[in-house]
Amino acid sequence: MKILSLKAREILDSRGNPTIEVELETHKGKFIAGVPSGASTGKHEALELRDGESRRNGLGVLKAVKNIEEIIAPEIINQDVISQNSLDQLILDLDGTEKKSKLGANAMVAVSMAACRALAAEKDVPLYQYINELFNQKREQPLALPRPCFNVINGGAHAGNDLDVQEFMVVPQADTFAENLEIGAEVYQELKSVLKNKIGPSAINVGDEGGFAPALKYPEEAMDFILEASKNKGLQEKIKFILDVAASQFFENGKYKTQMGIFTGVGLANYYFDLISKYPIIGIEDPFAEDDFDSWSLLISRLLPIRQAGKTPAYPAGRQVSKLAVVGDDLTVTNQQRIKLSKEKEACNGMILKINQIGTITEALESASLAKGYEWKIIVSHRSGETGDDFISDLAVGIGAEFIKSGAPARGERAAKYNRLLKIESELKQ
């Protein structure tokens, strides 16, 4: 495949901050990619290059744009790109740093995503199909629709309320993506009414990911409102919860400072066990800080004997405990070294997959393959700052991820991903 041109520009993300869009042209057409951006980023993520000057509060991406147009483009224009691997390797060599600090992971991921779309078009296959072919070079994996996780109440770094838990995700349990989307949307709309009636109109203001951001303090309150809304719609048996605690955000000097009080890692683990015994929680993402491996391992070590023996735990626990997914995000940052370290320490049994945490499609697929080899659950994820780009939907199907999270079933940039999955599901049924 010959690349005819590669252009980049600074655009707005869903928070109104600058991000990158690239346009890569081949004889098959123009292929666009938009780069997402996190707010609660892990410190081990690859570097997102920002201009850091007074313009745009230091968040401009003109240096990254320049890196695409002046460093990457001259190396790939008019060259024959034979595969995703070779293109990504070329970008990695041009960067040559561990954290992608020369070119910026945001610059690199933009080119990697657009090239992936172009390579799929070159083969005349849908993007999810091409990603699946790439993934199958590493491990056999049939195409599969992920189960969506809808973030219906926002807290933490994504909202102006006191909730420590960043994301309260509703995970519908129906068999098809379309049914799951409908359940998520019904619960979301009913939650809007419940919050408005019980708390007042300001409770339905939304956070960065489109979930409501009511002035609540405690996780129990948030989940009670969601359960009430589900019950009103007769859907309470059809939903489960996954929480993204994003605990690095409130970890200070070895302690977890929350609205519920100050916890040690052990204390917080006890709190989770209590919560799991009361609510239908099937997963907790980032329950502890990104380098607090002891607490992560403690939680898992108390789950393992339960799972292996299939018997009543010697620890306060409810029906959900033996199946709980303990999911790394800031912990694992889609980085193979971090994933291996987390496995070594038995810190988690699931992980978030975010391409922009690592910088190239090839590396993200390698990370996913590693996680699958460990039999971890994978949640393909958006970022809190998004664009209309729906690449992650094809990615989730292509690697057969168990889950996808793309915020609430509302707001254009979030709905774009869910709507793309609807389309893929109907294509695959034909």
| One residue of 13, 48, 190, 329 binding ligand PEP per CB under 6 A | 329
Give me the sheet containing 18-26, strands edge to edge.
5-12, 18-26, 29-34
Rounded to the nearest whole angstrom, what is the least distance from the CB of residue 51 to Mg ion in the complex?
A: 26
Q: Closest by alpha carbon to 134, among 375, 365, 424?
A: 365
Q: Closest by alpha carbon to 211, among 244, 247, 237, 239?
A: 244
Rounded to the nearest whole angstrom, what is the least distance from the CB of residue 216 to Mg ion in the complex?
A: 19
Residue owning tokens 């023996």:
309
Which residue of the set 48, 209, 285, 366 is catalytic?
209
Distance (Å, whole) CA 213 – CA 122:
44
Task: Let me know if 405 is a catalytic residue.
Answer: no
Rounded to the nearest whole angstrom, what is the least distance from the CB of residue 157 to ligand PEP in the complex?
A: 6
| One residue of 187, 246, 268, 378 binding ligand PEP per CB under 6 A | 246
The pairing of strands 325-328 and 281-285 is: parallel
Rounded to the nearest whole angstrom, what is the least distance from the CB of residue 316 to ligand PEP in the complex?
A: 28
Secondary structure element (H or E) that encloses residue 10, with its range:
strand 5-12
CB atoms within 10 A of CB 422: 16
190 binds, among Mg ion, ligand PEP, none (CB under 5 to 8 A by kind): none
Task: Let me know if 354 is a catalytic residue.
Answer: yes
Name residues contacting Mg ion, limited to 330-389 (CB under 5 A): none
Instruction: Confirm or reject binding of residue 244 to Mg ion (CB under 5 A).
Output: yes
| One residue of 14, 84, 258, 381 binding ligand PEP per CB under 6 A | 381
Q: Closest by alpha carbon to 51, among 18, 84, 27?
A: 18
> Following DSSP, what letter does each residue of 50-79 receive, concatenated?
---SSGGGGT--HHHHHIIIIIIHHHHBTS
Instruction: Confirm or reject binding of residue 329 to Mg ion (CB under 5 A).
Output: yes
Which residue of the set 100, 238, 240, 354 is catalytic?
354
- Give me the residue whose beta carbon is nearest to ligand PEP: 38
406 binds, among ligand PEP, Mg ion, none (CB under 5 to 8 A by kind): none
Half-sphere exposure of 66 (CA within 13 A, CB side): 8
Q: Write the interaction track for ligand PEP spanning residues 271-310; mark x where CB under 6 A is met and - where it is not.
A: ----------------------------------------
Rounded to the nearest whole angstrom, what is the least distance from the CB of residue 68 to ligand PEP in the complex?
A: 22
Phi–psi pair at 327, nearest 5 degrees: -110, 125
Positions annotated as catalytic residues are: 209, 354
Which residues bind to Mg ion, rule: CB under 5 A? 244, 329
Which residues bind to ligand PEP, rule: CB under 6 A? 38-41, 244, 246, 329, 352, 381, 383-384
